[in-house]
Structure formats: structure tokens, C-alpha cells
Amino acid sequence: MLEIKDLHVKVEDKDILKGINLTVHPGELHAIMGRNGSGKSTLANVIAGQESYEITSGDILYNGTSIISESPEERALAGIFMSFQYPVIIPGVNNTYFLKAALNAIRKHQGKMELDAVEFLKLIRKKLAAVEMDEKYLHRAVNDGFSGGEKKKNEILQMLTLEPALAILDETDSGLDIDALKIVATGVNNYRRDDRAIVIITHYQRILKYMEADYVHVLINGKIAKSGGENLAEQLEEKGYSWLDN
Amino acid sequence: MKTQNKTIEKVTSQDYQYGFVTDIEQDTIPPGLNEDVIRLISNKKNEPDWLTSWRLKAYNNWLKMNEPNWAKVDYPKIDYQSISYYSAPKDKSDGPKSLDEVDPELVKTYEKLGIPLEEQKMLAGVAVDAVFDSVSVATTFKEDLGKAGVIFSSFSEAVQDHPDLVKKYLGSVVPYTDNYFAALNSAVFSDGSFVYIPKGVRCPMELSTYFRINAMNTGQFERTLIIADEGSHVSYLEGCTAPMRDENQLHAAVVELVAHKDAEIKYSTVQNWYPGHPETGKGGVYNFVTKRGICEGSNSKISWTQVETGSAITWKYPSCILKGDDSVGEFYSVAVANNFQQADTGTKMIHTGKNTRSTIISKGISAGKGQNTYRGQVKIMKNAEHARNYSQCDSILIGDQCSAHTFPYIDVRNPSAQMEHEASTSNIGEDQLFYCNQRGISTEDAVSLIVNGFCKEVFRELPMEFAVEAQKLMEVTLEGSVG
């Protein structure tokens, strides 16, 4: 589904990613771990198409096709979703309205009928229940006045609603209390399916206690220093990242 | 920032979508202004002597006045002698009796603009007093309104048919001494609309007028007078677009509203005149308008709602004089300044009556090199016990080459007054656009989503059909502003 080949990325003349290789198949859940500044968020943003990052060499393939010259919107329509580390506030824009616009853009792209307000409300109510969010959030402006945990739950709500094939969750677990963490993890677990892949980017191993990662990768200084199974995350917890420093 | 600049460049390259000039024979007075020109205008319109002399007094007063320069707008000096002050579509007889008799070219123009002069729209309940350049050519639904006792006609017709009403109220809210542009208008006004709602009547339909500037080199000087007698209610809609053209066009309109005891006037405007060439700013309309209403009687209400997306320069402060006790004034505004547009707009709320209340909601949108200024005055006079005002002025910036300014003037002379003022400035950030894009929403849709969210409080004050039009207009105006 996702194939990253020897990816080098620069931000304002600084090399951030220095040769990333990663292959994600449908049905898999990958965790990418690493310290602050190791390039984790850069990787997520580059896959989503953030334009302030410059790809100097390498390629990103999605379903066998290079996407690096595609716009963020084209990638989103093709089924790539990123849960933001810092979800953006859009004052005045109703959360329901925003989600409906996004869903209908995607449905239109897929050649499906757009949902009207009534149909959408029916759908969204089900999704809300899955992340234990109150209906009042629908009527608030996008992320406006949301607590850290509410914002992250809102990201997962969007994922559940938009049903992407590839979901990249950028530090979705950070800033969550234990209850919210469980809700988010459950949401993600229930979302897993043979034809969907999930990449979780995180500092901490704790979210992996609530979900099963097929692969764990450790990102150090712009490169994947080590890949392994779930026990790699446990080893990291015990020994710290310095264990992998050269 | 790179993306955003690209965006701005693209906004700037947005063409005016309603640009075309209709080929119609015009009856035009040669450029220039003097007493003879004013007499000629008055004579062409077969006006009574008192009106001719009122115009002349206004003219002589205007000669002694100076063009105001306090607004935050910048434009080359206007040569008032190069403007033609009268232009009317030529009619062979005494004017058309029905739409069939109207010049087909003219009807085509209206159709291009989507002006509801046709059957379907009439059935939708909109009475139209269409102003083509300076003279009204078609008035519909007059009969229905007549049954309710409502007078809705062109200003010229009102001068002939209801001279007493015109004489009583003309200049009663905006005297010709008020300001430079109002004085000029009073001297040379060509036509406009006149509305009188009798006691206790709720006007059975929204009254709508479409203004349009078409003749080359002709200033447009509209005069509108709306009187709502005791306990009556009226909603008036005004909207306009203009053809693309090369030189600046001066528009100096005057609108006067009078609300008697328990009456309510709702005045809504969607303004979309040619803003000037997107890359140079050349050729846009100068919109110097004086709009003012008086809540004459107790418990009366005047509500201004405006969506200003066009014009090169907007100088406009729809105001309310709250004279009657317990009267209410409202001002809801969305003003866009894109490319080289300059907008200096706001309101004045003058509280003289007891327990008077006013609300001001202003939303300014700046994009391209646009410059947007809110200028508002709230004045609580000595006898206005327990007056209240709430003001909210929000600005949004798209890109980093535009600007927003807020000048709220507050003058309170009664200690029992309650004043609240809120203001905010934000911009459409690259992060917001990326967030929308990442959810599959195109950049253009994202901008319109964000801007419409920003304008929501004002749009919901517009009558339904206008609200839809306003949203569409906003999309067209800011199309391509990002990405």
C-alpha cells in the first residue's frame, strides 16, 4: 500500500530525513517511535503532502504510484489521512459542516452520491458514539475551545467518518489522559481491517499496550535505526533510545 | 508563506465576472456642472419649483465645501467637471407600459445579471424597481402593493404623484449640508426609489431594487427615501453589479430612512460594483454613499445589513439616529477588500432617546493588497438614559500584503449608558488550508468555508435569497485566493 524508498527530506536547508525505507501492506499496523526531532512528524507530513518540506531524493509510492508530485488534497481524496499532532482551529466553521464538506468531497471523488444533512447526521451520530464524544461537539467550531484530548478524539472521529485506506496518526496519543487514550486506542483497533493500514507515530510505548503493532520502527536522526516486532517497543521502554545510539 | 503568496497572486488574477457593456442609445447631458445643468436636469424631470431651488441651494452649498480626506482611502483627485450628470435610456414614447415594451437589449442585460425581472421571479414575490443608469424603466408589482396602500415607485414618479410626502421628508435625515457627497447628490440626483408604508401595514413582499451603472462617463447619483409610518414594517433589498470599464466611476448615493412609532425598516445591500483592474487597480467604481435612518418614533427599529464586495473605494457609514424612546438600531456588515480595493466603512449610532439600543457587527475581509477599515461612532447623548450598545468588529486577513484597521469612536454623555466593544483580527493561515486539504477539501472550498464561517453572523440577517447570493458572491470574489 505504502512504499517509501530512500527518502531524503530537507526543511529550510536542514536535512531531516536521511534515507527512509518503509513498506506498509494492507491490514498492517506500524508504529514509528523516536525522540523529539528525530524526524517522525516530518515523515507524517511529507506523506500527507505538506509543502514546506522539500524532498531532495527518493520516492513515496501509494498503491504502486508515486505521489510526491500530488497535492495534499489529491492524496487525501485517494485515501491518505493524517491525524494531526496539533489539530488546527478553524473559528466560525461548524464541526459538522466541516466534516460533511470533507466527506462529500471524498464521496464525490469516489463517484458516490453526496450525503444530505439528514443522512450525514445519522452517520455522524454513530461515529460519535464510537469515540464517546458528546453531540455538542458537532455544533462547535472546528477544534475551537477544544481541550487537547477533545482535539485528538475529534481527529479520530474524522478518521472514522472519512474511512481512509491509510491512516497516519501523528502523536495522537500525546496529551491524552488514560481514559481518552483507551478510547482513541479502541477507535483505532475497531478501525483495523484487511484492506486498511495504520501508521502510528509516537514517543511512548504506552499506546501500544492497547493495540497490536505488527512492526515497530525506531527513527533516529532521520533514519530507521532498528525495526522489529512489538517487543522492540518494550525493549525501548526499558533501555531508552540511547540504547540504539551509535 | 510561499504557498500563500502564490495564492494571493492567484486572487489578484481573478477577473471581474460581470463585465460587459450594453449598447443602448443614451440621452446624455454633456460633462460639466453648473446651475444651468442642474436646471436642465430638474426641467427634464418636470420638477416643481421648490425642488429646483432645493437642488440649487444644495449646489451652492456644495461649492463652499471641501472633499473629505479623513478616510483611510487614497485616490486621484476627481474632476467634477468631466462627469456627465444625467443619462437616461432613450424612450420614444412616454415610457414602457410593460416589460414587452422595454428595449430588448436592456432586458438581455438584466437576464445576464440574473435580475429577477421576469415572470418566475415575480411569482417568487419580488417587486422590482430596476434602475438602469439613471431612470427607472420598469416597475412591477405596483398594483399589488397599491392594494396594501404601499407606495413603491421611482423617485421621479414620487415627485410627480406624491409631492407632499417627498417635500416633507426629502433631506429630513440627510440634509444637503451634511457632507460633500450628500450635497453633490442633492444637487444632481437623477433618480432612485421612493417607498411609503402606511400606518399599520406590513409590506406584503420584499422590495428589491437593482442598481446598475452602464453609460460611459456618467456618475450615478441615486436618491432613496423610505418612510415607514406608525406600526408598519418593510424589508428593502438593494443589490448591484457593473460592467467592466476603464475609467473611474463616481457613485454618490443618498439613502434616507424614517421609521415612525413602532415601525420597522430592514435595509439590506449586496454591493458588487467593478472593483478595478485586478493587476493595476485601475478603473473601479468610487462608492461614496451617505445612508442614514432616523428612528423617529418610540419603539421603532432600523436595521442595516450590507455585504460590500465590489468598488475600488468604498466610503460608506449607514447610520441610525435613535431618537424615539426604546428604539433599536442595528448594523451588520461584511466588507471585502481584495487586490487594490480600499474600503472605509462602518456606522454611526446616535442615541438621543431613552432606553435606546444599538448593535454593531462588522466583519472585514482583506486579501491581495486590499485595505479594509472599520470606522464607527457610538454617541450617547445627555438625555439618552439607559442606552445600550454592543459592538463587535472582526477582521480576517488572507495573505501578508493586505491590511485591516479599526477606528471605533465612543462618545458617552450619560452615565447610565452600557457599552460593550469586542474586536479581533485573524488570518487564514497556511496551516488551516493544509488541514482542510488533508481532509480532501480543495483550497478554494476551504477559503469559502472559512470566510463564510467568519461572515455567518451577518449573512443570517439577510433575507433568504440574498443570503445565498451573498455566499456565491463571496466565493466568486475570493476565488483562487489561495493555492
pLDDT tens per residue, range A37-46: 889 999 999 9
DSSP readout, B171-203? Answer: TSSS-TTS-HHHHHHHHH--B-EEEEE-TT-B-
pLDDT tens per residue, range B435-470: 999 999 998 889 888 888 888 888 888 877 677 777
Residues B333, B303: Cα–Cα separation, whole Å: 11
Test B450 with A92 for CB contact under 8 angstroms: yes
Residues from chain B contacting residue A72 (CB–CB below 8 Å): 434, 437-438
Is pLDDT larger for residue B294 or for residue A204?
A: B294
- Test mutation, A46, A51, A73, chain B, max B CBs within 10 A: A73
pLDDT tens per residue, range A223-240: 998 898 888 888 887 888
> Which pLDDT does position A156 carry in this prediction?
94
Test A76 with B435 for CB contact under 8 angstroms: no
> Which pLDDT does position B18 carry in this prediction?
54
| Cell, residue B183 | 450635497
Test A93 with B453 for CB contact under 8 angstroms: yes
Most confident of B68-72, B114-118, B217-221, B349-353: B349-353
Considering only alpha carbons, which residue of chain B is nearest residue A141?
B453
Mean pLDDT computed over every residue of chain B: 80
pLDDT band for position B24 (50/70/90)? low
**Core vs surface per residue B120-154: b (16+ CB within 10 A) or e:** ebbeeebbbbbbbbbbbbbbbbeeebeebebbbbb
Residues from chain B contacting residue A50 (CB–CB below 8 Å): 434
> Which pLDDT does position B114 carry in this prediction?
54
pLDDT band for position B119 (50/70/90)? very low
Is pLDDT larger for residue B97 or for residue A186?
A: A186
Residues from chain B contacting residue A77 (CB–CB below 8 Å): 440
The single residue listed with the C-alpha cell 428595449 is: B103
- Interhelix angle B180-188/B49-63, nearest 10 degrees: 150
What proportion of chain A, given as a percentage, has pLDDT over 90?
A: 65
pLDDT band for position B109 (50/70/90)? very low
Test B438 with A101 for CB contact under 8 angstroms: no
Q: Which residues numbered 64-103 in A keep a CB inside 8 Å of some CB on B?
A: 71-73, 75-77, 81-82, 84, 87-94, 97-99, 101-102
pLDDT tens per residue, range A141-151: 999 989 888 99
Test A90 with B436 for CB contact under 8 angstroms: yes
Residues from chain B contacting residue A73 (CB–CB below 8 Å): 437-438, 440-443
Which of these ranges, A131-145, A186-200, A208-222, B208-222, has the smallest mean pLDDT?
B208-222
User: A80, A169 in Cβ contact below 8 A?
Assistant: no
Considering only alpha carbons, which residue of chain A is nearest residue B456?
A92
pLDDT tens per residue, range B218-265: 457 889 999 999 999 999 988 755 444 545 578 889 999 999 999 999
CATH 3.40.50.300 fits A2-244, yes or no: yes
Q: In a 3-state reduction of DSSP, which class is residue A28?
A: coil
CA distance B435 to chain A (A): 7
Residue B465 is which amino acid?
A: E
Query: Which of A52, A73, A141 shows the shortest C-beta gap to B437?
Result: A73
Mean pLDDT computed over every residue of chain A: 91
Task: Report the 10 Å Cβ neighbour count for B280.
Answer: 9
pLDDT band for position B70 (50/70/90)? confident
pLDDT tens per residue, range B303-342: 999 988 888 888 899 999 999 999 999 999 999 888 888 8
Q: Which residues numbered 136-165 in A keep a CB inside 8 Å of some CB on B?
A: 141, 158, 162
Test B445 with A162 for CB contact under 8 angstroms: no
Res. B126: pLDDT tops 70: no
Test B437 with A71 for CB contact under 8 angstroms: yes
Is pLDDT larger for residue B480 or for residue B298?
A: B298
The single residue listed with the C-alpha cell 447628490 is: B185
Which of these ranges, A98-112, B22-36, B143-157, B354-368, has the smallest mean pLDDT?
B22-36
CA distance B212 to chain A (A): 33
Mean pLDDT of B42-59: 93
